[in-house]
Amino acid sequence: MIDHPLARRQPLARLLAAALALIALSACAFSPLAQPREPTQPAAPSPTRATEAELSATPAELSATPAEPSGDTRPAASGGPTLLTGTFTYTNDIITTYYVEQAAALIDMYAFVKRDKQWKVPIDSQVLGYMKLDQAAKTGEYRIQLPAKPLGQFVDLNHDGKADRGVQVFAASYWPNMTDGPYSEGDDPSYGWPSYLASTVNDTENEDEVLGGKLVVWAPDAAQQFPTGFGADGKLFTDDDPVGAIPAGYSVVNLDKQPFAISQEAEQQLTLYEPKDVEIKDYSQQSYSQAFKQMLDKLRLEYAFNGIAGKAPDWAAIERTYTPRVAEAERNRDAAAFSLAIHDFTLEFRDGHVGIGSDPNYGANFRAVAGGGYGFLARAVDDGRVIVTFVLKGGPAAGAGMQVGAELSAFGGKPIAQALAEVRPFEGPFSTDFGLRSAQQRYLSRAPVGTAVQVTFANPGKAPTSAELTAVQEFESYFAGLPARDDDPAALPVEARVLSQGAGYIKIRTNYDDLGLIVRLFERALKAFEQNKITRVIIDMRVNPGGAPLGLAGFLSDNEIELGQTLYYSEKTGQFEPNGVRDKVRPNEQRYTFERLALLVDQTCTSACEIESYGFSKLPNAIVVGQFPTGGVEAEVARGQFKLPEGIALQFPTGRIVLPDGSLFLEGQGVQPTLRVPITAANVLASDDAVLQAAEAELAR
């Protein structure tokens, strides 16, 4: 399991960020020939029908012998609210992709009182409630029946130096289930305090400090006290808070009133809030120029890699180049020109997370620039040669006599190496040189329809020859260069089988799906392999565009695996500041053991896939096999989602992930193979999977 604050129930700051990376072109192999197809949203079924009391009961109340905190047998304080209800809106629909078991809950805020983001939320303090989502309207409603006596942690908040019994402090929160039972426990724990769709308003740029909203407080008697304001430091639950009496039983405290307002009405309405910085920045109703300027002004401050050599863009040059283009498109009311300006703007970055997620004009712009093809595809191999791997029957290259296996020596009057290096792919941008080179090979044979070029090639066993090819409208050669994907909408996100040589094989197709299903399928495969005494396992992470990192290596590790620390720009300090604690993969309670493991990677494993792969790569009995590293595309994008006029949606990273020495975690590097499979003419022409074969052979040794 991956360890970040509230990793199970409140992962949205992190998981939204990782999952939204899927929008990036380089991360999801977005086809420019048509509008991008949004991922199918899994239906969010209603919970199993139960009584309201069952839905709101704590685990202790459902047990045969109800638990009591610290042996306390005093009667519960009576009076106050009995039912919480509320509504909320959300802009990111990731929650309906990631979770199909929706719920709300009353959650102990002890971690916030103590400012301890690694505090595990106890199972007995969780009070579940019913939640209903309207996916079309992106709204929701919930209801939580309060138990007679909550089982949270008592905290003494009057700071008078005397030991008082204190109160219990809670927030209402979105609390979906991922795996295991309905509560957060076992291998599906939660840490810290809620901040996404919670009844509190939190400062996500300042350690999720509570700024407003409402809290639920339970006092065992009328002798307890609670803050009446934030105090001079502007923070809640610190020594300078003014305090006052709070009634016995439940109270709802409105933090938006000064002094705080206390209510004990029987039914209370608490709105759940989506953090402002996670909301999509919607400039779609503004003019082209206004929208572009607002986005640019925000990125100048918040773009994840500002100030990092080789990554930070030249903002002044960008403004000089693109502001006039946007203004001209606005004057001419030219949506296609605006689209192309935004497209070209994204290519100024060296960052695979930057990209256009939707644009009605994208396909037309692609066809104008690269809709023609010469009817062939070529791949560069390790010895420097460029080998033709695909020839379109009846296409221009076939008409000139070019055959599969031909070696290219010149293109457009230039040596082939130079010609390849000068290709500017229409898609992108890319975080790595190897990512760019891969796209350059695919776009070498793309051009506007009608463009002529001189090509020199030598078919196998033949002398070189030259021919003039003219681009025609064809897309077969383009698609031949894309990684093989299973577009079956019914395909499972994780599939497993036993290979002919006896190794167990697990293919993780995506981390952008029902997260509970991914975890269950992965563990199911491990369990089946272990039960059948399979000792060698291959985990294939290739062609996985990312989603949510799940820390699946925790099923296979006895030790914690340290990951990166996320930093976001802080308006308060003007610097990039840590957000929460450093991520880590924790060992699961249920673990599996195999003698040898092989991890298969390539540049089509990006974003969350890379974090998942990094965890696997740190297992002591694992080897990493591939022709390329993972994509080297690692950042967080939850706060960098934009809507512009003309239906354009795009994203930019706003959270950088670093190691303790300040260097970037995975970005621009990826997870490196420990066993690199050579790229040869033989294996680029073969239909066999050279990487899988190499892994099988190595594990069998």
Q: Can you spell out the DSSP letters for 76-87?
A: PPP-S--EEEEE
Asked whether the predicted pLDDT for residue 178 surpasses 80, the reply is: yes
Q: What is the pLDDT of residue 77?
A: 64
H/E stretch holding 655 reads strand 655-658
- Which of 36-45, 113-122, 198-207, 216-225 has the least mean pLDDT? 36-45
State which of 6-10, 12-16, 246-250, 573-577 shows the largest mean pLDDT: 246-250
Q: SS3 for 13?
A: helix
> Exposure pattern of 591-612 as b/e (b: 16+ CB <10 Å)?
eeebebbbbbbbbbbbbbbbbb
Nearest to 120 by CA among 111, 129, 128: 111
CATH code of the domain made up of 494-700: 3.90.226.10
**Bridge partners (DSSP) listed for residue 447:** 372
Q: What is the pLDDT of residue 349?
A: 97
Distance in angstroms (rounded) separating the CA atoms of residues 62 and 183: 12
Quote the tokens at residue 319.
């403004």
Distance in angstroms (rounded) separating the CA atoms of residues 410 and 100: 54
Asked whether the predicted pLDDT for residue 467 surpasses 60, the reply is: yes
Q: What is the pLDDT of residue 276?
A: 83
Quote the tokens at residue 550.
């799940």
How confident is residue 62, by pLDDT bands cut at 50, 70 and 90? very low
Q: What is the pLDDT of residue 525?
A: 99
On whether the CB atoms of residues 286 and 646 are closer than 8 A, the answer is no
Q: SS3 for 50?
A: coil
More confident residue, 517 or 13: 517
Quote the tokens at residue 337.
């020109």
Q: What is the mean pLDDT of the chain?
A: 89
Asked whether the predicted pLDDT for residue 303 surpasses 50, the reply is: yes
Q: What is the pLDDT of residue 466?
A: 98
Nearest to 446 by CA among 371, 515, 386: 371
Asked whether the predicted pLDDT for residue 371 surpasses 50, the reply is: yes
- The count of C-alpha atoms lying within 13 angstroms of the C-alpha of 255, restricted to the half-sphere facing its C-beta, is 26
Q: Same CATH topology for 372-474 and 494-700?
A: no
- Estimate to the nearest angstrom the gap between the alpha carbon of 242 and the chain centroid: 41
DSSP string, 258-300: SSPEEE--SEEE---B--GGGS-EE-TTS-HHHHHHHHHHHHH
More confident residue, 573 or 341: 341
Q: What is the pLDDT of residue 320?
A: 98
Quote the tokens at residue 484.
């093989």
346-370: average pLDDT: 96
On whether the CB atoms of residues 84 and 127 are closer than 8 A, the answer is no
Asked whether the predicted pLDDT for residue 484 surpasses 90, the reply is: no
Asked whether the predicted pLDDT for residue 71 surpasses 70, the reply is: no
- Which of 11-20, 339-348, 486-495, 497-506 has the least mean pLDDT? 11-20
Nearest to 359 by CA among 649, 40, 33, 92: 649
Pick left, alpha or beta for residue 632 (phi over 0 → left; psi -120 to 50 → alpha; otherwise beta).
left
H/E stretch holding 243 reads strand 243-245
Nearest to 20 by CA among 73, 92, 123, 75: 92
130-143: average pLDDT: 96
Quote the tokens at residue 559.
């030790």
Please name the residues in contact with 647: beta carbons below 8 A apart, sequence gap of 6 or more. Answer: 284, 358, 359, 360
Q: Is 79 exposed, middle or buried (0-12, 13-18, 19+ CB in 10 A)?
A: middle
User: Residue 197 phi/psi, 5° resolution?
Assistant: 50, 55
Q: What is the pTM of this model?
A: 0.86
On whether the CB atoms of residues 392 and 375 are closer than 8 A, the answer is yes
Quote the tokens at residue 346.
């994204």
535-548: average pLDDT: 96
181-209: average pLDDT: 92
357-375: average pLDDT: 96
Nearest to 511 by CA among 470, 549, 480, 473: 549
On whether the CB atoms of residues 235 and 226 are closer than 8 A, the answer is no
Asked whether the predicted pLDDT for residue 63 surpasses 60, the reply is: no
**Bridge partners (DSSP) listed for residue 260:** none
Asked whether the predicted pLDDT for residue 30 surpasses 70, the reply is: no
278-284: average pLDDT: 91
Q: What is the pLDDT of residue 19?
A: 38
- All structural domains of the chain with their residue ranges: 44-277, 372-474, 494-700
Quote the tokens at residue 182.
């309905």
On whether the CB atoms of residues 308 and 576 are closer than 8 A, the answer is no
Asked whether the predicted pLDDT for residue 657 surpasses 70, the reply is: yes
How confident is residue 88, by pLDDT bands cut at 50, 70 and 90? very high
- Which of 3-12, 311-320, 463-472 has the least mean pLDDT? 3-12
More confident residue, 73 or 70: 73
On whether the CB atoms of residues 435 and 425 are closer than 8 A, the answer is no
Distance in angstroms (rounded) separating the CA atoms of residues 188 and 176: 11
Asked whether the predicted pLDDT for residue 40 surpasses 60, the reply is: no
On whether the CB atoms of residues 507 and 692 are closer than 8 A, the answer is no
**What's the longest Cα–Cα distance across the chain?**
97
CATH architecture designation of domain 372-474: Roll (2.30)
Please name the residues in contact with 547: beta carbons below 8 A apart, sequence gap of 6 or more. Answer: 18, 19, 22, 510, 511, 512, 513, 607, 608, 609
Q: SS3 for 565?
A: strand
More confident residue, 341 or 44: 341
Q: Enter the DSSP assignment of 636.
A: B
